[in-house]
């Protein structure tokens, strides 16, 4: 017959995708795309009472598992791999109604996961807004002369989730003074000095920072001194 020895099923039926043309030994139909070996003789699915089943190719583990759970009758589909010398699973045969029910369950789960992701995203958004507001408030406490809009912009930039910026560090999350000052310095460096232009013109980062250091210090002193003047 040209069919390798029947694979050993763990449970249930095993259906074979033959490598060569085969005909059903009962009804003589062929060539068969799928067959069952009964006492070494090939049978088509109809003669094996499996003709009402539909093929679900491998690839979706959850759908496969649920289809088999929903199906009163199922079969594993295998094909012989000559190079590896073994049968390999290609999918399962299940009742069509069972497949529909399994697909509905998977879609329901996907929708539930989508809703959960949306809820989590909203929750994280609220948390991020609160943290950015707290960060901006700490900036204004340390630098009362900083415009509120700038403080909010610096806080928002420093605290972007997943950015790796100072606001997302442990110190930043704790609103430590050092982390807040570092965020302000970075904001001033990029907005109020020619730092970015120096980098683009080929000046090294360390040299560029050295050149703009007086300008940064000037802005920081101005923002810090405004509060002292108001108190006086």
Domain boundaries, the chain: 13-107, 143-225
Please say if the pLDDT value at position 208 is more than 70: yes
Indicate the DSSP class of residue 83: T
Alpha carbon distance 82, 1 (integer Å): 16
Please say if the pLDDT value at position 87 is more than 50: yes
Q: Give the confidence band of 3 by pLDDT, cuts at 50, 70, 90.
A: low
Q: Give the confidence band of 231 by pLDDT, cuts at 50, 70, 90.
A: very low
Supply 59's token pair: 């690839």
Please say if the pLDDT value at position 185 is more than 90: yes
Q: Render pLDDT for 127-164 as a digit per residue (tens, 0 to 9).
A: 999 999 999 999 999 999 999 999 999 999 998 888 78
Q: Give the confidence band of 41 by pLDDT, cuts at 50, 70, 90.
A: very high
Please say if the pLDDT value at position 228 is more than 80: no
Q: Give the confidence band of 206 by pLDDT, cuts at 50, 70, 90.
A: very high
Please say if the pLDDT value at position 229 is more than 80: no
The torsion angles phi and psi of 7, rounded to 5 degrees, stand at -65, 155
Q: Give the confidence band of 113 by pLDDT, cuts at 50, 70, 90.
A: confident
CA angle 86, 87, 93 (to 5 degrees): 175
Helix (H), strand (E) at residue 232: none
What pLDDT shows up at residue 12? 67
Rounded mean pLDDT of the chain?
Answer: 88
Region for residue 74 given its phi and psi (left: phi exceeds 0; alpha: psi -120 to 50; beta: otherwise): beta
Please say if the pLDDT value at position 6 is more than 80: no
- Where are the extended beta strands (E) located within 5-124? 13-17, 36-38, 41-43, 53-57, 75-81, 86-95
Query: Is pTM, for the whole model, over 0.75?
Result: no
What pLDDT shows up at residue 134? 94
Alpha carbon distance 232, 227 (integer Å): 9
Alpha carbon distance 25, 46 (integer Å): 12
What pLDDT shows up at residue 132? 93
What pLDDT shows up at residue 130? 93
Mean pLDDT of the region 73-87: 92
């Amino acid at each position: 017959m040209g069919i390798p020895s029947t694979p050993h099923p763990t449970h249930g039926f095993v259906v074979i995708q033959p490598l060569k043309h085969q005909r059903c030994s009962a009804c003589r139909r062929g060539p068969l795309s799928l067959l069952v070996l009964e006492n070494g003789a090939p049978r088509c699915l109809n003669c094996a009472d499996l003709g009402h089943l539909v093929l679900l190719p491998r690839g979706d583990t959850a759908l496969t598992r649920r289809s088999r759970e929903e199906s009163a009758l199922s079969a594993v589909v295998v094909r012989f791999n000559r190079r590896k010398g073994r049968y390999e699973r290609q999918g399962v045969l299940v009742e069509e109604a069972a497949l529909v029910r399994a697909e509905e369950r998977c879609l329901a789960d996907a929708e539930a996961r989508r809703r959960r992701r949306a809820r989590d995203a909203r929750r994280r958004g609220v948390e991020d807004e609160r943290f950015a507001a707290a960060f901006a408030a700490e900036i204004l406490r340390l630098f009362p002369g900083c415009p509120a809009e700038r403080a909010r912009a610096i806080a928002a930039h420093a605290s972007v989730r997943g950015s790796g910026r100072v606001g997302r560090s442990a110190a930043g999350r704790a609103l430590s003074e050092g982390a807040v000052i570092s965020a302000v310095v970075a904001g001033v460096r990029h907005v109020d000095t020619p730092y970015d232009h120096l980098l683009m013109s080929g000046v090294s980062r360390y040299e560029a920072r050295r050149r703009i250091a007086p300008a940064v210090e000037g802005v920081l002193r101005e923002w810090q001194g405004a509060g002292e003047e108001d108190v006086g």
